Amino acid sequence: MKNIFVICISLLMIAGCAPVKVGRMDSAAEVDLSGYWNDTDSRLVAEEAISDCLGRSWLPDFSASAGKKPRVIVGTVKNMSSEHIATDTFVKDMERELINSGKVTFVAGGAEREEIRQERAEQQKFSGDAKAFFKEKSADFMLQGGINSILDSAGKTTLRYYQIELELIDMESNEKVWIGQKKIKKLVKRSKFGL
């Protein structure tokens, strides 16, 4: 019995001392190691949410009445989950989908807008062809939302549930013109031996 214990400990030590091996892979490959929110979740939710948003009636209604594409800005996406989620990456995924759709005009906001304003102010001092103030375009709609999670586990099995809520709001009237929701469930099963 003692020999079996020594052999098991030796095998675990050898496995733990194995060199790290790193390999390159396609950045679009779907990999889920832990069951936590990851880059694949961010990309897929952004693609599905923006596709749904741009396929609804608010878009042709606005374009018909205003005679132009709507200007959209992405506001805050709050992480209300029980884990760290890089919401900035998720916001950038949504921005990319909005811009690349060609169906809306995208307006910079927050820190990006402040950096541009600072650069414009610097141009006034040092450039002969400075861009003028008060020419900014305002957003017609703001997209905002949040990510919630529920964790349920028993023994070596864990269920990770994510619910993403997004809303597109008319900047002038505060009317919500679109509400989107995406749900993700991941069942994570751990090995009995922890390997």
- The CATH number of the domain holding residue 163 is 3.40.50.10610
- Which is nearest to 106 in space by CA: 116, 97, 117? 97
Q: Determine which of 6-20, 94-108, 112-126, 173-187 has the lowest per-residue pLDDT on average.
A: 6-20
Retrieve residue 66's tokens. 């205003």
Give the predicted TM-score (pTM) of the model. 0.79
Residue 98: inside a domain, yes or no?
A: yes
Report whether pLDDT(194) > 60.
no
Residue 124: inside a domain, yes or no?
A: yes
- Looking at the chain, the whole-number percentage of residues with pLDDT higher than 90 is 58
Residue 43: inside a domain, yes or no?
A: yes
Report whether pLDDT(146) > 90.
yes
∠ CA 180-109-179, rounded to 5°: 10
Residue 103: inside a domain, yes or no?
A: yes
Residue 24: inside a domain, yes or no?
A: no
- Which is nearest to 90 in space by CA: 169, 147, 138? 147
Which residues of 80-175 form beta strands (DSSP E)? 105-106, 141-154, 157-170
Q: At what angle do helices 87-101 and 39-54 cross, to 10 degrees?
A: 40
The whole-chain average pLDDT of the chain stands at 88
Residue holding tokens 């030796």?
10
**Residue 45 banded pLDDT, cuts 50, 70, 90:** very high
Report whether pLDDT(53) > 60.
yes
- Which is nearest to 94 in space by CA: 46, 156, 150? 46
Strand 141-154 and strand 71-79: the pairing is parallel
The mean per-residue pLDDT over the stretch 115-139 comes to 89
Helix (H) or strand (E) holding 78: strand 71-79
Residue 17: inside a domain, yes or no?
A: no
Report whether pLDDT(143) > 90.
yes
Please enumerate in sequence order all residues whose Cβ is within 8 A of that of 146, keeping only pairs 6 or more positions apart, or say none. Answer: 77, 78, 79, 80, 164, 165
Residue 18: inside a domain, yes or no?
A: no
pLDDT of the residue at 31: 72
pLDDT of the residue at 11: 62
Structural domain containing residue 107:
36-189
The mean per-residue pLDDT over the stretch 121-149 comes to 91
Quote the number of domains for the chain.
Answer: 1
Report whether pLDDT(171) > 90.
yes
**Residue 15 banded pLDDT, cuts 50, 70, 90:** low
- Which one has a higher pLDDT value, 65 or 32? 65
